[in-house]
Structure 1
Amino acid sequence: MADNQPQFALQRVYLKDTSFEVPGAPKVFLQQWNPEVNIDLATAHQPLEDGKHYEVQLAITVTAKNEGATAFLVEVKQAGIFQIEGVAEAELGPLLGAYCPNVLFPFAREAISDLVGKGSFPQLLLQPVNFDALYADSLRRKAEADAGAEAADTTRPQ
């Protein structure tokens, strides 16, 4: 294989951090179960020292409230090490910001489902996430913020 050929490989998937809390136990288990569930997602990535590998993290926080009080809070940081070489700079952002989190999502979803089940709550299966749309939205918001900052700089007195 030629050295300039793009290479992409998942080297390792691991659970980097997790937390599960049931602040209202045991009272929460005696109430009618009609939760309001909020899900927050975040992604991050960083190059590793060799310049050929990247750590990508997918952080998911699920908060379930029942009768106005927090029933449970689960946080999972699912991470992976990806070998990425010979990829054009324009393709690297979508790869790290959308494709890699998409690879990690099933592992995070399983960890969350397991934690919620072990907490004695009904099964929670997260719906699929469109990471391409989330990445595109983050680029749009960054461009708007940059444009706003640039406009603010031009309005300052010199």
Structure 2
Amino acid sequence: MAEADTGAAPQAPQIKMNVLSQYIRDMSFENILAQKPASGQVQPDVKVQVALDVKKREADHQFEVVMKLTVKSVAQGTEDALFLLEVEYAGLFHIEGVPEDQMHPFLLIECPRMLFPFVRRIVSDVTRDGGFPPLNLENIDFVNLYRTELQRRAAAQQPVGTA
């Protein structure tokens, strides 16, 4: 018995994403407080900067996504540095079925979401092993980060207007 044609629209291609590997590309931790101890009680203020980079690999459908975190802790009030952690964490992804016009946001939103729990663990372990309380990073809104970067780039490309 033949199946009846329901007239439904053709289905979108199935998205396939595999994490081929993950690794620390570069990392440094500097315990500045140990080099010049602070006097009295110190209230830390932690600042986190995130940058993302994507490279197409030679193999078909493979991409390298790198999350670069700079975590700096300073003493509130004095702005004396307590520690500086810089980590570049990369993932190799095999991605198929994503429309070409959606690939850029997919790589800069979905791939970092997959990497973030591992980066969070590294930051926690390194700060703890470096003599500080473990730093548990808040979740990062990669959609907002992507939109903000697009707006920044659009503003940078605007010609300087005359007033």
Counterpart of 1:114 (choices 122, 125, 140) is 125
Residue 92 of structure 2 is aligned to residue 81 of structure 1: yes
Aligned length: 148
Aligned-residue offset at 1:91: 1.3
1:12 aligns with 21
2:33 aligns with 24
Counterpart of 1:90 (choices 90, 93, 101) is 101
For 1:1-150, what aligned pairs fall within 5 Å after superposition? 5-28=14-37, 31-66=40-75, 67-146=78-157, 148-149=158-159
User: Can you list the C-alpha shifts for 1:8-66, whole angstroms capped at 9, x where unaligned?
Assistant: 21111111111000123154366413011111100001000113100000011110012
For 1:88 and 1:94, locate their aligned partners in 2 and report how far apart those are by CA, in whole Å: 11
User: Can you list the C-alpha shifts for 1:73-93, whole angstroms capped at 9, x where unaligned?
Assistant: 001111100001232112101
Higher helix share: 1
After TM superposition, the score normalised by the length of structure 2 is 0.82
Q: State the secondary structure of the residue aligned to 2:37.
A: helix
For 1:101 and 1:114, locate their aligned partners in 2 and report how far apart those are by CA, in whole Å: 20
The one-letter code of the counterpart of 1:129 is: I
Q: Percent identity?
A: 36
For 2:87 and 2:44, locate their aligned partners in 1 and report how far apart those are by CA, in whole Å: 20
User: Can you list the C-alpha shifts for 1:86-128, whole angstroms capped at 9, x where unaligned?
Assistant: 3211210111111111111111111111110011111210000
Query: Structure 1 stretches of 5 or more lacking a match?
Result: none
The two structures, once aligned, show a CA RMSD in angstroms of 2.0
For 2:41 and 2:35, locate their aligned partners in 1 and report how far apart those are by CA, in whole Å: 13
For 1:23 and 1:92, locate their aligned partners in 2 and report how far apart those are by CA, in whole Å: 41
2:6 aligns with none
For 1:125 and 1:35, locate their aligned partners in 2 and report how far apart those are by CA, in whole Å: 14
The one-letter code of the counterpart of 1:48 is: R
Query: Structure 2 stretches of 5 or more lacking a match?
Result: 1-12
Change (3 A) 1:125 1:40: same
After TM superposition, the score normalised by the length of structure 1 is 0.84
